[in-house]
Structure 1
Amino acid sequence: MALQRFNSLIFAVILSIGFGNVYAQSKAMLFPGKPGLVSYTYRKDFEKDVPSTLDKIKSIGIRDMEFSNLFGKTASELRTLIDQRDIKCSSFGVSYNDLVNKTAEVAEKAKILGADYVRVAGIPHKSAFTKEEAERAIDDFNRVGKILKEEHGLTFVYHNHGFEFEPYQDGTLYDLLMQKTNPKYVSFELDILWAFFPGHDPVQLLNKYGKRFKLMHLKDLRKGVTGNLSGGTSPENDVVLGTGQINIPAVIKAAKKAGVRHYYIEDESSHVDVQVPKSIAYLQTLKK
């Protein structure tokens, strides 16, 4: 009996040490857990077969998704498929036109999917983004953001795409969007590549605007690529996180301080089956 008690005590000590090591490792990690994923990353696969693509995504450990396409399914059908795989749709991306002109329909789909956020990526503009185009968007965002929040319990977020950083007064038109949208109804999703590409530091933006950022797209820009204000570059310039030009650890630290709630990997390249798992693995190597 004494020997059994001794062995039990030893086992308990070993077990506690093991859990202690796991806890310590978790505490030391800069990015604990797994990131989410933008559906656009696997758009070509989704267009062929939604269930098998979701199986693939689940197999690499993804449980949080931002969908901006239903890929031929109804919102209810897609919700059933993701529920079966224990995947959550936390953000639903829609077009600017649908946001403004089909607000109730957008809200209904978002709620069916289980999303907390409705996201728009881009503002209609003819050439170089102008103050007038920015102010029209500000009015739309404030109005629709209020409807989504007060009538549907959803949070509207705007996703930058690079062109918004046209110079304006002492800053940029992106600053104007931040300054004139109502924080109660309008939040932001920071795409770090589309902040870096037009010449801005994602870390500085996170430090400056803090909790306005609720969501983030994690992506990296191929070394040697020079950016501009066009809002466009080759999809093949998306590379594995940590192998490009962006200081990913600094971004993660600033994002955690700002209170970013969801981090989605977005990779537009033709090598996602190789690059996405490597990006996930890279995030697990980051230490505080």
Structure 2
Amino acid sequence: MKYKPVLLILVFIGMAISLDSFAQKKGDPLFQAPLGIAAYTFRNEFPKGVEHTLDIIQEMGFTEYEGGTAGLTPEEFKKLCAERGISIPSTGTGFEQLEEDPQAVADRVKALGANYVMCAWIPHKGDFTKANADRAIKAFNEGGKVLKENGIIFKYHVHGYEFQPYENGTLLDYIIENTDPEYVSLQMDVMWTHFGGGDPVSLLKKYGDRWVSLHLKDFRKGAPKDMTGLTGPENDVPLGTGELDIPGILRESNKIGIKHMFIEDESDHELENLPKSIAYLKSLKY
């Protein structure tokens, strides 16, 4: 039997819809990654004791950790995490460290056993400028190449100040379009993206698999926003209680195939807020 082109197209569309429906059934969880935590969340607890803090992280059900070693050697910290069933897929680096000695960054990341390293801040004074972006593009491409040669994926953590208008888009678009996808991936902090004027869902769609992980947090309804990348802890609220479209973000992240999502609570009530955020994530279904 010979099918006309239009009929074939309809058949293929039907097959695609059927396969998509099979992949994501009604009632499946929207949050499909391991439960991850960003180290900054526990900035008030780590000074009270590393093991004490890791015990809290374990008791809350977190199995992935992103961040530093709280003053311990990478080997010591990795051991304490492993004893609690916590893996360390990702850690961080300062911009200047990456710019000046990416091999030293790679050595530290390897000692920790991580596969990713992220940079969360590009130095700038006042408004973020094209000159700042150009410096970052050079550092990211060159440092990312060294990291890849060491088996490590570099990612830039979007922080909200990069949404200054530039040409037909923003300086964030300029950075993404001028960094080599082979050496530079992206981590979306969904709250800072929203805070700077970006649309997390649209940006996930636009840049697809350049995004490899998320920081999950929510922003207080009606609070003022700008492009400083800075706001008070009172504006960080439990997931699902603020302005962000968390279900939409998770749906798009699942389509892209993002495997690592880290809750980051920057409030002064993280021990109260985290159980609420976890319960909200677990309640979300297709």
Under a length normalisation based on structure 2, what TM-score does the superposition of the two structures give?
A: 0.89
Structure 1, unmatched stretches of 5+, are: 1-23
Question: Equivalents in 2 of 1:77, 1:48: separation in Å?
Answer: 17
SS in 2 for 1:149: helix
In structure 2, what is the equivalent of residue 142 of structure 1? Answer: 141
| Aligned alpha-carbon RMSD (Å) | 1.5
In structure 2, what is the equivalent of residue 71 of structure 1? Answer: 70
* Superimposed CA distance per residue, residues 231-275 of structure 1 (whole angstroms, 9 cap, x where no aligned partner): 110012111100000010000001111221200000011111111
In structure 2, what is the equivalent of residue 36 of structure 1? Answer: 36
* Superimposed CA distance per residue, residues 80-100 of structure 1 (whole angstroms, 9 cap, x where no aligned partner): 111111111111111101112
Question: Equivalents in 1 of 2:25, 2:159: separation in Å?
Answer: 36
Which of 229, 235, 239 lines up with 1:231 in the alignment? 229
Number of aligned positions between the proteins: 263
Q: Is the 8 A contact 1:26 1:32 kept in 2?
A: no
SS in 1 for 2:215: strand
* Superimposed CA distance per residue, residues 205-237 of structure 1 (whole angstroms, 9 cap, x where no aligned partner): 000001000010000001111211111100121
Task: Give the direction of change, closer, same or farther, for the CA distance of 1:140–1:243 in structure 2 (3 Å limit).
Answer: same
**Is residue 2:194 matched to residue 1:192?**
no
Aligned-pair distance for 1:54?
0.2
1:106-185 matched pairs, under 5 angstroms: 106-150=105-149, 152-185=150-183
Which of 201, 204, 212 lines up with 2:202 in the alignment? 204
Aligned-pair distance for 1:188?
0.4
Structure with greater Cα Rg = 1
Question: Equivalents in 1 of 2:75, 2:33: separation in Å?
Answer: 28
Quick check: 96-105 or 169-178, which moved more?
A: 96-105
Under a length normalisation based on structure 1, what TM-score does the superposition of the two structures give?
A: 0.88
In structure 1, what is the equivalent of residue 61 of structure 2? Answer: 61
In structure 2, what is the equivalent of residue 48 of structure 1? Answer: 48
Q: Is the 8 A contact 1:162 1:229 kept in 2?
A: yes
**Runs ≥4 in structure 1, deviation > 3 angstroms?**
24-27
Question: Equivalents in 1 of 2:77, 2:175: separation in Å?
Answer: 33
Structure 2, unmatched stretches of 5+, are: 1-23
* Superimposed CA distance per residue, residues 148-175 of structure 1 (whole angstroms, 9 cap, x where no aligned partner): 001x100000001111110001100000
* Superimposed CA distance per residue, residues 19-61 of structure 1 (whole angstroms, 9 cap, x where no aligned partner): xxxxx99962111464200010011111220001001100011
